[in-house]
Chain A
């Protein structure tokens, strides 16, 4: 179980010099064997929350508890070793590091073609066409995004943080994405997304706004929550 206790995060505004509050007293519980989707308007702190959970950012105050252990002070490497796994919104490009090498870093061992095939076919890619390619600008945004997910799956772990996993992935391969989430049903999965089809896979939906967090465990309750929002864009989420 992952628990966020009174997490606040603020940064200094470069122009005004004032502290700007990104997150304020966030209290959330993410249960084992549970998929939670965090949604909310741009700038509401969704990605920051993911970064705090992974150890990329330190909260200004508050605690991150994993199975009762306070991991707030642990860095990225230690959290990764404890079973935290992240797939970034914008996959990182590397000159010279191949897909094979990245998968091997993720697994911490050498991989055979069958193992790489299993990793990449789960995201709809054929290993033979990709393993020797560099993870760089020669791959399309969609390919990089799929590889990012394959690397996260290859690493494994207990807590999966997927930041907008659908970004750059074409609509027809949403089924692949949903299949990936199904494979993670026995983990603690936290997804940042705006997509209705992803929201529909969730066991729990969290609506993050600047001043407020609302959550619902039942889809109908959550969609009711979203469509009650004054902004029309939230209604469109439901209607689309």
Chain B
């Protein structure tokens, strides 16, 4: 593996070596390494680019790594990955994509991920996006995540975008069955002229379903972020969306919430707060001996922790 590959894999999937268990590592649109196991089977698609990840019922405490790296310019990678999670399974899926673009042309990765969780299953999905390289070309991610949760299924999504990504439009759609749960934690950092759009549409269909979406973002430089959420309560359910943003320099954050309680039993909440770092936070840390710059960094790191 080349040095850039290793650095990207470490950033996006904490991988220092080839992982244990099932994995699929994709580089510049081609397979770099794959391991399929009896518990978690990885099957390449025949009709389009992508894989099916099949987790057998009852499989617990297993993980699967499916990182993607792109190290060339002028490249658009589109991949379709479908995840079938068996009943009572409990697994961790580590995705993530790293781009290193030193070229003038744009590099883009679009992962269309669809999750089908059977009854009583649980998935922790960790997705990290990171880009590096001094090229003028864009470093763009446009992921689409579709989540279908059957009765009592639980999907925990931790989505992180570090610096370097110039453009992103992230779309997440979820449909929740009876007593299903969706927990999302999103963290985004933008700088320079970066542009980031995140769009959640969550359909709380089943009785007792529950969604909690927390987005924390930091926008620096001249970057622009847009957060759109649309929660629909069709049954006795609870939904909560929280969008917190810190603005620095000339950056801009737009939050557009929509909550639609179709059922009178639905309880939906939206909270949004966008603004500069609070002056009293800076003063507190400076009173402990930190410089203003160190205090600002510490607050941002903590906020995105």
Say whether A associates with B.
Answer: yes
Known contacts A56-B283, A95-B244; A105 and B303 CB within 8 A of each other: no
Least CB distance from B215 to A in Å reads 12
Given contacts A54-B287, A94-B303, A96-B302, 8 further A-B contacts (CB under 8 A): A56-B283, A88-B284, A90-B280, A94-B284, A96-B303, A96-B304, A97-B298, A105-B289
Q: Is A101 an interface residue (CB 8 A)?
A: yes
Query: In the assembly, what is the distance between CA of A80 and CA of B284, in Å?
Result: 10
Tell me the complex Cα distance, A194–B298, Å.
35
Smallest CB-CB A-B distances: 6 pairs: A97-B302, A96-B302, A92-B284, A80-B289, A76-B286, A96-B305
Interface residues of A in 112-168 (CB under 8 A from B): 151, 155
Interface residues contributed by chain B, number (CB under 8 Å): 22
Interface residues of B (CB under 8 A from A): 216, 244, 278, 280-281, 283-292, 298-299, 301-305
> What are 15 sample pairs from A and B whose C-beta atoms fall under 8 A apart?
A76-B286, A77-B286, A77-B289, A80-B288, A92-B284, A95-B244, A95-B303, A96-B303, A97-B298, A97-B305, A101-B302, A102-B288, A105-B288, A105-B298, A108-B289
Instruction: List the A residue with the shortest CB-CB distance to B304.
Output: A96
Residues in B neighbouring A105, C-beta threshold 8 A = 285, 288-290, 298
Which residues of chain B come closer than 8 Å to A90, judged between CB atoms?
280
Tell me whether chain B's interface is mostly helix, strand or loop, or mixed.
Answer: helix
Residues of A within 8 A of B (CB): 54, 56, 75-77, 80-81, 84-86, 88, 90, 92, 94-98, 101-102, 105-106, 108, 151, 155
Given A95-B244, A97-B298, A105-B298, are A80 and B304 also a contact pair (CB < 8 Å)? no
Closest Cβ of chain A to B183, distance in Å, is 17
Give Cα A94 to B302, complex, Å: 8
* A residues in contact with B305, CB < 8 Å: 96-97
Instruction: State in angstroms the CA–CA spacing of A84 and B286 once bound together.
Output: 11
Kindly report which residue of chain B lies nearest to residue A86, judged by CB atoms: B287
Chain A residues closer than 8 Å to B287, beta-carbon distance: 54, 56, 76, 80, 84-86
